[in-house]
Amino acid sequence: MIKLIIVNFNQRTHLDSLIESIQDQNDWEALVVDNSGELVGQSFLNTKIINPKKNLGYLKGLEYGLNNCEFSNDDFIIFCNPDLVFEYNFFDTLIKKVDINKMDLIAPSIINSLGNNCNPNMVSKMSKLRILIYDFEYSNYISFRIIAFTRSILKSFSEILKKYKSPNNIERMKIFIPHGACMIFKGFFFENDKNFNYDIFLWGEEPIIAHEVRKRGGEIIFEPKLKVNHNEGSVTSKVPSQKKYSHWKNSYRIMRKYLR
């Protein structure tokens, strides 16, 4: 059985599209942690809605979902955003064609609106120089705005180059950090502990979860056979800049040690 744990915050339209993309696939159930409360009293195919009565953020929302979800060690557990559309044979491919050890994390191909793959997020450990840039970025709000603006320009050019670059045959590989929009585990991973126990509200969950995988004896595996489409930033792009800085600064304080 495949169990999806979805953390929602005002993304009803996207959730409709996600459910529609998997409605004809077999052996799945979804549990939606409704941080915004917009889905209370509503129903979706094979889906349970739970409302924590407050906005827990993404990582704590996933934990809340895990602790309210019944699953066996052999079930697949998929953490995901609502703004995904799964490829039509995703679940069948996962069950029949993907090897996953009990403590591993599988990172699928996550295709953004420009047609580029968000995975692998990080293939190897972050360089000391890049960490120094992050240190500067989160030292104060002004430096945060400067680096964020510079990064957005560089990212735009990078995305354009990726779009027109000749496609390469991307193969399954071990990576350092996955993209957080879609992460796949076996139920075994949560047999002894369903919590990550980090005070993260928004952003920064990826290096923390990757650290937990390695700490529990697993690896992070990028699997290009599995594909989802992602409407990247559908909610986070609307977060006010000052609040975004506050969330990122807190997350960075906690996740920094797990980037190398």
Which whole number is the average pLDDT over 14-41? Answer: 93
| 241 DSSP assignment | H
pTM over 0.85: yes
- We report the CATH number of the domain holding residue 7 as 3.90.550.10
Q: Determine the length of the chain.
A: 260
Instruction: Kindly report, residue by residue over 198-229, the tens digit of the pLDDT.
Output: 999 888 899 999 999 999 999 999 999 999 99
Which whole number is the average pLDDT over 24-28? Answer: 90
Q: Which long-range contacts (CB under 8 A, 24 or more apart) does 235-240 make?
A: 235/9, 235/10, 235/11, 235/83, 236/202, 236/203, 239/202
pLDDT at 158: 63
CA 89 to chain centre: 20
**What are the φ and ψ backbone dihedral angles of 177, each rounded to 5 degrees?**
-140, 135
CB 56 within 8 A of CB 64: yes
Domain count, the chain: 1
Range of the domain at 183: 2-258
pLDDT band, very low/low/confident/very high, at 128 (cuts 50, 70, 90): very high
